[in-house]
A and B are shown apart, each in its own frame.
Chain A
Amino acid sequence: MCLAIPGKVVEIYDEFGLKMGKVDYAGTVNKVCLEYVPDIRIGQYTVVHAGFALSVIDEEEAIKSYEAWEELVGSATGQDDDQYGDYMQTIQGLKQSVKDNKGTL
């Protein structure tokens, strides 16, 4: 029952007075009730449980956690260069992908 993967809202419509939408999971599109995320917009990511969107993914919080890891990885880099060398690059890439996506919303 607990589908933990976030999906992207691709369509919003009304059905019997309820705010409904289509959510895309890398190609698989499901019908979802959006009543509990009234402000959601097309292009945003949401967590869905048993046919209901429960939460809109907060991009800023996602970036904040990347930044916390950046620090963690930074301190690890000091200890062992070989092992942790490419972390910074990975995290920078992640942050960029979040920002890029934001521009397209």
Chain B
Amino acid sequence: MKYIDEYRDPVLAKAILADIHRITTRPWVIMEICGGQTHAIIRNGIDQVLPEQIELVHGPGCPVCVTPLETIDRALAIAARPEVIFCSFGDMLRVPGSSMDLFMVKSQGGDVRMVYSPLEAVKIARENPDREVVFLAVGFETTAPGNAMAIHQAALEQLTNFSVLASHVLVPPAMRTLLASPNNRVQGYLAAGHVCAIMGWAEYEPIAEEFQVPIVVTGFESIDILASILEVVRQLEEGRYSVENQYARVVERQGNLPARNMVQSVFVVTDRKWRGIGEIPASGLKIRNAYSDFDAEKKFRVDTIITQESPLCISGEVLQGIKKPSSCPAFGRECTPEHPLGATMVSSEGACAAYYKYNYRGTD
């Protein structure tokens, strides 16, 4: 396939890898932010062929994994109501709340539907004027434009039976929080390509400067990841720290302006709790007051329920790059994709799920 095969070319991959080996003289810890990149790395065994001194740690870039438990519990409470058609991306259906997940609500009679686009939920609202249609809008900067468009479109069409339970998270504040933590080991970042496709990469420049870490915007194919690792290592070895864009075929410096403008007009930045990490100031998006008629949180007045995580799960440390999934005592025993204890095992983008799927136990 075009724009795919060439970025998986094994011959070219070997040339880049040879260069990485040639220039590496010291140990370095590099974090890939995005869960999609974590999967690409584990699937292709990239971490296994790198020089021993280079350690890749997996970042918090799995939107499903970091969605706070309160949001899941609110979703469950709304989805159980008889007048509601509850719509969500498939990934969210199996995320465990405090006591159940959306699939269980469905099996108990709730009308829970999987959609591929928030516009499908708008369509369902249009076709079911006597029902309340609620869309669960989670994710990073990448899903925010679509969800903003759905709200905007529902407002244009005056669909009073459509609302959104929104819990968006923003990547740069999390990158900053990880670097500022006393436990931080990360010395360089591979930045998430599709987040940057929306937001651009100017936001990363002050982070690179303040914490003196190289940041390279990266795609999802082996060549993208290897070429980006090469650039990060080169900067680390030379004592430099700048932001580079390896994914220029997709990402522009200013990002996608129409998408950014729509996000700005529908959402406003807010403090946000990240599952497993805790509250990060100004790290989320919530629906603006001008669109509060479409805010499911306000419409259904969902009270916060007492939330409890499994005491076995160390996914918070996994999400911060402090521990690897394989060092969790529950990994592959009490916790499997069929019976997940934590969100990093549920989501197809979660690091625990990646390690399990590729039967990977890591080196620690």
Q: Which residues of A contact B (CB under 8 A)?
A: 1-2, 4-6, 8, 16-18, 25-26, 30-33, 35-38, 45, 47, 49-52, 54-55, 57-59, 61-62, 64-66, 69, 72-73, 76, 83-84, 86-87, 90-91, 94, 97, 101
Q: How far is the CA of A17 from the CA of B120 in the complex (A)?
A: 15
Surface stretch bound by A, among B42-50, B138-146, B282-290: B138-146
Q: List the B side residues contacting A16 at CB < 8 Å.
A: 153, 157
Q: List the A side residues contacting B120 at CB < 8 Å.
A: 51
Contact B63 A47 (CB under 8 A): no
From B1, B117, B259, contact of A5 by CB (8 A): B1
Contact A94 B6 (CB under 8 A): yes
State how many angstroms separate the Cβ of A49 from the closest Cβ of chain B.
5
Interface string of B4-17 (1 = CB under 8 A from A): 10100101101110
Q: Closest residue to A25 on the B side, CB-wise? A: B1
Contact B4 A6 (CB under 8 A): yes
Contact B194 A49 (CB under 8 A): yes
The 6 A-B residue pairs whose C-beta atoms are closest, nearest first, are A51-B117, A4-B220, A2-B36, A61-B248, A52-B146, A62-B249
Q: List the B side residues contacting A62 at CB < 8 Å.
A: 3, 249
Contact A54 B198 (CB under 8 A): yes
A73-B248 contact, Cβ under 8 Å, with A2-B35, A50-B139, A51-B119: no
Contact A45 B11 (CB under 8 A): no
Q: How far is the CA of A52 from the CA of B297 in the complex (A)?
A: 25
Contact B194 A33 (CB under 8 A): no
Interface string of B142-169 (1 = CB under 8 A from A): 1101100100010011000000000000
Q: List the B side residues contacting A84 at CB < 8 Å.
A: 11, 14-15
Q: How far is the CA of A18 from the CA of B246 in the complex (A)?
A: 32
Contact B11 A101 (CB under 8 A): no
What are some 10 contacts across the A-B interface (CB < 8 A)?
A: A4-B40, A6-B3, A25-B1, A32-B117, A33-B117, A47-B194, A49-B146, A50-B89, A50-B116, A58-B248
Q: How far is the CA of A62 from the CA of B247 in the complex (A)?
A: 9
Q: How far is the CA of A35 from the CA of B3 in the complex (A)?
A: 23
Q: Knowing that A62-B249, A66-B6, A84-B11 are A-B contacts, what are 9 other residue pairs whose CB atoms are under 8 Å apart, sorted by A's residue number?
A: A1-B64, A1-B89, A1-B142, A5-B1, A50-B117, A51-B146, A59-B249, A72-B19, A90-B9
Q: Which residues of B contact A (CB under 8 A)?
A: 1-4, 6, 9, 11-12, 14-16, 18-19, 34-36, 40, 63-64, 89, 91, 116-120, 139, 142-143, 145-146, 149, 153, 156-157, 193-194, 197-198, 219-221, 223, 227, 246, 248-252, 256, 258-259, 262, 349
Q: Closest residue to B123 on the A side, CB-wise? A: A16
Q: List the B side residues contacting A17 at CB < 8 Å.
A: 153, 156
Q: How far is the CA of A37 from the CA of B156 in the complex (A)?
A: 20
From A30, A47, A54, A69, contact of B12 by CB (8 A): A69
Q: How far is the CA of A54 from the CA of B252 in the complex (A)?
A: 11
Q: How far is the CA of A13 from the CA of B208 in the complex (A)?
A: 42
Q: How far is the CA of A38 from the CA of B256 in the complex (A)?
A: 11
Q: Closest residue to A83 on the B side, CB-wise? A: B14
Q: List the B side residues contacting A47 at CB < 8 Å.
A: 194, 197, 250
Q: List the B side residues contacting A25 at CB < 8 Å.
A: 1
State how many angstroms separate the Cβ of B80 from the closest Cβ of chain A.
24
Q: List the A side residues contacting B15 at CB < 8 Å.
A: 69, 72-73, 76, 84, 87
State how many angstroms separate the Cβ of B275 from the closest Cβ of chain A.
16
Q: How far is the CA of A61 from the CA of B245 in the complex (A)?
A: 11
Q: Closest residue to A47 on the B side, CB-wise? A: B250
Contact B248 A64 (CB under 8 A): yes
Q: List the A side residues contacting B262 at CB < 8 Å.
A: 35-36
Q: List the A side residues contacting B91 at CB < 8 Å.
A: 1
State how many angstroms separate the Cβ of B174 from the closest Cβ of chain A.
16
Q: How far is the CA of A31 from the CA of B259 in the complex (A)?
A: 18
Contact A45 B2 (CB under 8 A): yes
Q: How far is the CA of A57 from the CA of B3 in the complex (A)?
A: 9
Q: List the B side residues contacting A94 at CB < 8 Å.
A: 6, 9
Q: List the B side residues contacting A2 at CB < 8 Å.
A: 34-36, 142, 194, 220, 349
State how many angstroms separate the Cβ of B88 from the closest Cβ of chain A.
11
Q: List the A side residues contacting B145 at CB < 8 Å.
A: 36, 52, 54
Q: How far is the CA of A94 from the CA of B146 in the complex (A)?
A: 33
